[in-house]
Amino acid sequence: MDFESWWLIFIPLLFGLGWMAARLDISQILSETRNLPDSYFKGLNFLLNEEPDQAIDAFIEVAKLDPETTELHFALGSLFRRRGEMERAIRVHQSLLARADLPDSQREHAKHELAQDYLKAGMLDRAEEGFLGLDGSTYSLPALRALIRIYESEHDWPRAIDAAKKLRKIVDEPIPQLVHYHCEIAQAALQQTPANPDEAQLALNAAQQASDSADQISRPASPYSAGIAAPKVRIAMLKADIAAARNDQKVEHEALLSVLKQAPEFAGLIAKSLQASFVSLGQSSQGLEILRQHYQIYPSLDLFNVVFGGLRAQDGAEAAWEFARDALESNPSLLGLDRMLEIELIQAADSTAASSAADREAGGFQKLPGPDFALLRKLIKRHTQRLDRYACNMCGFQARQYYWQCPGCNSWETYRPLRLEEVQ
């Protein structure tokens, strides 16, 4: 192919066009930058220096000067909500929705932000209405999760169940709290006056179906979870409660006994009820032996209390304290010692002077005088009060009783069936 000299003309021409395009871009950028108010840059500087109060004031000034800055309005609304200034956050997002020229995508964004404002402000009715209005939008998934939180806080378990089922279809993952929603309905039926075991049984059947369905979907392990056994334990405990309401001792006993096999680490939650079931069936000694052997593998404070108290009542102080010495030597526990002294004080108050003298003359263990027990327990109690609590593995919220749902962060199955002293 022959080279034509006139082609050389294109080389400087191309360079010239590129130079002009670059100049135009730079000019446009500089022009837009000059149009931005100084308050905008001041606000950015305050944000970078972690001074949100001053940043908010600067951005408010920008918004007044240029009401078309929608992204700035969204940023302001989020800042107000994080600071707890809910009225100001609501006004910002309402002003955005009042604009007729707002694009559909930004209108959905504003609706979602406004619904979040209502939720944090505790205006649940308006929040629910706002999230329901986002069905089918790009924010449908977070809106559905927010609706579930609203229904949980209102204890509207039927609507929570419907929302959770809808969520499961969208995300195709197990929803562990679905089992608990049905269990909450069953528990409420049992707490009625009089109790309604038939209604509770229907809800429990639904909980069992939800649990079986969840088992078919692989559930990822979580460092915060109490384990996949938690729903099964609750179902077994409710089954026992329903049987007790129907005076069916056999079914109640079998349900409680199943916890030891299916979820042995949860034995402390049902130990007292299980031993009472053994007693009602005339198998007190057998029950104590089963619980005692279980304690050797899965020690827990509640299990210790039941075994020690049962031995104290059945075989006397020496047998109970022999068990206690071995147990506390293997698993030292101030809470265990505190419970042990508590039982001794109750026994001392109920016993006669003759039985107390017989215990002292029995040989071997020499029991301390009653007043010494009271003084010793008083000293120990001061150190055990902060340890005698369950703690949420998600947020650290501490409670004296076991919860299936944390009252602090509302997460499900984040409490281990052990107290603080036992997990430290």
Nearest partner of 63 among 43, 48, 83, judged by Cα: 43
Q: What is the pLDDT of residue 224?
A: 41
Strands (E), 73-164: none
Q: How far apart are CA 351 and CA 360, in angstroms?
A: 13
The single residue listed with the structure tokens 């003084």 is 375
pLDDT of residue 101: 80
Domain positions in the chain: 67-171, 174-214+228-267, 299-384, 389-424
pLDDT, position 26: 41
CATH code for the structural domain at 67-171: 1.25.40.10
Among left, alpha and beta (phi > 0; psi -120 to 50; other), residue 392 is beta
From the list 224, 235, 171, the residue with the least C-alpha distance to 411 is: 224
DSSP, collapsed to helix, strand or coil, labels residue 405 as strand
Tell me what pLDDT residue 221 has: 47
Q: Which residues are annotated as a binding site?
A: 392, 395, 406, 409
pTM (two decimals): 0.77
> 122 in helix, strand or coil?
coil
- Strands (E) in 76-141, as ranges, are none
d(CA 159, CA 153): 12
Peptide bond into 371 cis (omega under 30): no
Task: Return the closest-CA partner of residue 163 out of 127, 122, 204, 135.
Answer: 135
Q: How many helices (H) and strands (E) does the chain have?
A: 21, 2
Query: Residue 59's pLDDT is what?
Result: 58
Tell me the pLDDT of the chain (424 aa) as tens digits: 454 555 555 556 555 555 555 444 444 433 444 445 555 555 556 555 666 666 666 655 555 545 556 777 787 788 789 888 899 889 888 888 887 888 899 899 999 999 999 999 999 999 999 999 999 999 999 999 999 999 999 999 999 999 999 998 888 777 889 999 999 999 999 999 899 999 999 999 999 999 988 766 655 544 444 556 889 999 999 999 999 999 999 999 999 999 999 899 999 999 999 999 999 999 999 999 999 999 999 988 889 889 988 998 898 878 888 888 888 888 877 777 777 777 766 666 666 444 544 555 554 444 444 446 666 666 666 666 677 889 999 999 999 899 999 999 999 999 999 888 777 6
Neighbours of 332 (CB within 10 A): 10
Angle at which helix 267-280 crosses helix 229-245, to 10 degrees, equals: 30
Angle at CA of residue 208, ends 180 and 173, nearest 5°: 65
d(CA 321, CA 340) in angstroms, rounded, equals: 9
Question: What are the b/e assignments for 301-321, b being 16+ CB within 10 Å?
Answer: bbbbbbbbbbbbeeebbbebb
Residues 6 or more apart whose Cβ sits within 8 Å of residue 235: 179, 183, 204, 207, 208, 211
Binding residues for Fe cation: 392, 395, 406, 409
Instruction: Give first-to-last CA distance, the chain, whole Å.
Output: 85
Token look-up 């938690």 returns 230
**334-350 and 370-384 helices, crossing angle to 10°:** 150
> What is the Cα–Cα distance from 48 to 42, expressed in whole angstroms?
10
- d(CA 223, CA 112) in angstroms, rounded, equals 31
pLDDT, position 173: 75
